[in-house]
Each structure stands twice: as structure tokens, then as C-alpha cells.
Structure 1
Amino acid sequence: MRKIVQIQHTTYENGTLYLHTDQQELIKGTSAAGQIIADSDRYAFVYLVENAEEYVYLYLEESIWPELKKALHENAEVVVKSENTSLELDRFVEELDYLVGNIEGNGNYGDEMVKKVENVFLEK
């Protein structure tokens, strides 16, 4: 069964985007996999973190995409943070930039996902 981490809110401090979660037990002991995939059914990006046994899926829902866009444009560090644990998400900006470029105009992701990504990330 997939282990999914939900983000409750974000903060932006000193050029770093913090993704806050209360699911500390799921991110403790993980390392950044440096990869982002798309979940077109849930209209989300998914950053992969891993522990010794499996991947843990860090869901980046549409509600936080404006903050992700800001991090992308400012080439910011991105960190997932819980009460006592934090993890820098390696290659976040590069991966997000690549995925957004791949989704643009690409019906393989579904028309609604393409529309949502283009509306947030490609609007000037």
C-alpha cells in the first residue's frame, strides 16, 4: 500500500519554501529521491522520498501550486517539514520545471490536468 504524505500548508522564509505536514512518522528516516511525477487523477504533483524499503509519496495538491510556481521562478530550496523532522527535496526546481514543460499541451496527462497546469504555471 502506498504511503502518502499530505501537505497542510506552506510558508516561504528566506528564499526557502517549506511544505508543512503533520505526518512526521512517514518522512522520518527518508531521503529525497530527486524525482517528481504527476498524478493526473488527483491533479497533483508527487515528489518521491524513500526509505530502506519503499517510496513515500509526497502529494503536492493544486491548492499549493502558486507557491510551487514562486519557488520555481525564484529557484528556491524546497523543504518538507514536520514538528521535529525536515528534509530538503533535492532537484525539486529542476524536476518541476521539466514536468511542467512536459505537461504543457500534452494530452497524455488528460485535458483537465493540462489545463490546470497551464493556468497556474504558464500564466504570466
Structure 2
Amino acid sequence: MKTKLTVTNAKLNQEELVLETAEGIEGLLPRGQMLVDSDNLSFIYLMEKDEEYIYISLPEQLWGELKQGFGQQLKVYLQFEGSRVEMENFYSELEYLIENIKGNGNYGDEMVSRVESIF
């Protein structure tokens, strides 16, 4: 079973998009890749720790902030308390997934509908 951390809050400022989680992130290394979890209406950013993949879940409630950050091309960080990790290739991966999802029923009608309405 893969470890999954869920982003619980997103904060935008002039220079960055900070994605907060309620669990520790020490030792996480960005993989610079994203997947889609259509069943849970989430994007998944891949990280690695001790040669194991860690799934960072970005649920639909945060997509508005993701879109705003994308429009400004802000750096993206995953944060827990005082620790943070930059999420490399975040927007290029997100853009690729969004373009693939639009109009593509393979992701499920609800996922397609939600992505099209927000992005």
C-alpha cells in the first residue's frame, strides 16, 4: 500500500503557492510527476521517501487555488509546520493532465465535468 498525504489547505501570496498537510513531510523528495485519482476527484503529486512512493493528494476543494497559482506561475511548496519541500514540475504536469482530461471520458464523467468547470 502506498502512503498518501492529503493537502488540507492552500495559501497564495505574491511569490508562492503553499500547500499544507496535517502530516510530517521530512525526507520527502519530489518526483516531478502527477497522476489522477478520478474516484476521489484528486490530482496526485508523486514524492519519494526511502525508495517508496508517497502520494500527495490534491482534492477538488483546492483546485481554485491551483488554477490561480498556475495563472501566475508561482513556485509551489508542500508544507507541514516548519518544514517545506518545493514541488518541482508542478504546473507542467498539471497542465498536461488537465488537457488530457478535458473531453476524455476515460477519466469518468464527474472528473471531466469538474476539471472542465474549474480549469
TMscore range, shorter length: over 0.9
Q: What corresponds to 1:90 in structure 2?
A: 88
In terms of fraction of residues, the more strand-rich structure is 2
Q: What corresponds to 1:5 in structure 2?
A: 5
Q: Any gaps of 5 or more consecutive residues in structure 2?
A: none
TM-score (norm 1): 0.92
Task: Return the alpha-carbon distance in structure 2 between the equivalents of residues 112 and 31 of structure 1.
Answer: 31
Task: Return the alpha-carbon distance in structure 2 between the equivalents of residues 68 and 57 of structure 1.
Answer: 17
Q: Is the 8 A contact 1:76 1:93 kept in 2?
A: no
| C-alpha RMSD of the superposition | 0.9
For residues 1-124 of structure 1, what are the structure 2 equivalents within 5 Å? 1-24=1-24, 27-121=25-119
Secondary structure at the aligned position of 2:67 is classed as helix
Letter of the 2:79 counterpart:
K
Identity %: 40
- Aligned residue pairs total 119
Q: Residue deviations 1:5-38, cap 9 Å, x none? A: 11121111232000011201xx210110000110
